Amino acid sequence: MDKDLLIVPKDFPELKNDTFLRAARCEEVEHVPVWCMRQAGRYLPEFRESRAGKDFFETCRSPEACCELTLQPLRRFPFDASIIFSDILVVPQALGMDVQMCPGKGPIFPEPLKEPEDLQRLRPKVDVDAELGYVFKAITLTRHKLEGKVPLLGFTGAPWTLMSYMIEGGGSTTHSKAKRWLYRYPEASHKLLKQLTDVIVEYLLGQVTAGAQALQVFESHTGCLGPAEFKEFSLPYLRDIARRVKDKLKESGLENVPMIVFAKDGHYGLEELSESHYDVVGLDWTVDPRSARERTGGKVSLQGNMDPCALYATKERISEIVKKMVEGFGTRGYIANLGHGVYPDMDPEAVGAFVDAVHTHSRQLLNRK
């Protein structure tokens, strides 16, 4: 990618449904837009059929497979946005780390980072086009195959979340190995976080160049940090990513690409996140909608935040929960979503009920005005 200029292909199909983009910019909408994190996933039988017997990261490296998996939920449900099928751990892979996806266990790093000297194993300079070009190809292909139906989101994991995986060697409930670095090796921690930030910025810019119309940054492991640690080891890098990406996009005349930050369990950082150059702040289900509105002061749009487990309820109950949620957030500057991803054992019909309820209740609210 040319570091000085972003050139976006001009032959993409015209966008037919821009409700998601308008909501991200706090503009008027005819209904509240809705999409789901992990909307392309194992809860869909067609997803399981497509993925059967195939290595996860091999699938991630196939633009055709990623395109198909991204499109599958849109054939079933009237979502207002799509998100490219990929994984946050492709960034550590680009840095030279081996990552494997083990069925029933999740991601495994056979050789995690244990001490600061292990940072020498990482590529000091990443050629993002060479290492992650398959993601860019998947985005371009999918953008064409969408035929303008809805916008396409790109995404990345945030530096602290990726650092945690790289040190823990996989998922963790305590994140004690990674947090040990923060307390014992703060200088090395900042070095790694800065290195990740630099790659992430180039990665996100490459996704926009490829055709992504919005970007989401997942800080999935915020909840294991205290407020002070969040402000030192997470927030500055989240801000740096948004500022640098937006500055480069503005230079290229692409300042209308919204950016979303989702810091799960980061209740204490809500005010700071709303002043961190992002257009949208995603919320998990533990945050009260009205409180979130007050704390962010109308500076950003909000996204979320129904408890994913509410999808185990009846369709009638799902409708009631959605109605209360939409009334709490209001219809301006709001994107409906779950407070985390769809779980593998959920009924696709429940996802459909969620989407339909958002559209129905938000239209009713807007028609009363």
Q: What is the pLDDT of residues 241-289, one digit of tens each?
A: 999 999 999 998 888 999 999 999 998 999 999 999 999 999 999 999 9
* Residue among 25, 51, 243, 293 flagged as catalytic: 51
What percentage of the chain has pLDDT greater than the value 90? 93
Annotated active-site residue 38? The verdict is yes
Annotated active-site residue 127? The verdict is no
The answer to whether position 240 is within a domain reads yes
The answer to whether position 113 is within a domain reads yes
* Residue among 18, 22, 38, 278 flagged as catalytic: 38
**Could you give the number of structural domains in the chain?**
1
The answer to whether position 118 is within a domain reads yes
What would the 3-class secondary structure string for the chain be? CCCCCCCCCCCCCCCCCCHHHHHHCCCCCCCCCECCCCCCCCCCHHHHHHHCCCCHHHHHCCHHHHHHHHHHHHHHCCCCCEECCCCCCHHHHHCCCCCEEECCCEEECCCCCCCHHHHHHCCCCCCHHHHHHHHHHHHHHHHHHCCCCCCEEEEEECHHHHHHHHHHCECCCCCHHHHHHHHHCHHHHHHHHHHHHHHHHHHHHHHHHHCCCEEEEEECCHHHCCHHHHHHHCHHHHHHHHHHHHHHHHHCCCCCCCEEEEECCCHHHHHHHCCCCCCEEECCCCCCHHHHHHHHCCCCEEEEEECHHHHHCCHHHHHHHHHHHHHHHCCCCEEEEECCCCCCCCCHHHHHHHHHHHHHHHHHHHHHC
* pLDDT, tens digit, 9 for 90 and up, residues 305-351: 999 999 999 999 999 999 999 999 999 999 999 999 999 999 999 99
Annotated active-site residue 51? The verdict is yes
Lowest average pLDDT, out of 63-67, 169-173, 259-263, 361-365, goes to 169-173
Task: Identify the domain containing residue 129 by its residue range.
Answer: 46-295
The answer to whether position 233 is within a domain reads yes
pLDDT at 1 over 70: no
CATH code at 288? 3.20.20.210
* Residue among 18, 22, 43, 165 flagged as catalytic: 165
The answer to whether position 272 is within a domain reads yes
Question: What is the pLDDT confidence band of residue 356, given thresholds at 50, 70 and 90?
Answer: very high
Annotated active-site residue 87? The verdict is yes
pLDDT at 8 over 80: no
The answer to whether position 261 is within a domain reads yes
Mean pLDDT of the chain: 96
Question: What is the pLDDT confidence band of residue 182, given thresholds at 50, 70 and 90?
Answer: very high
* Residue among 87, 118, 198, 307 flagged as catalytic: 87
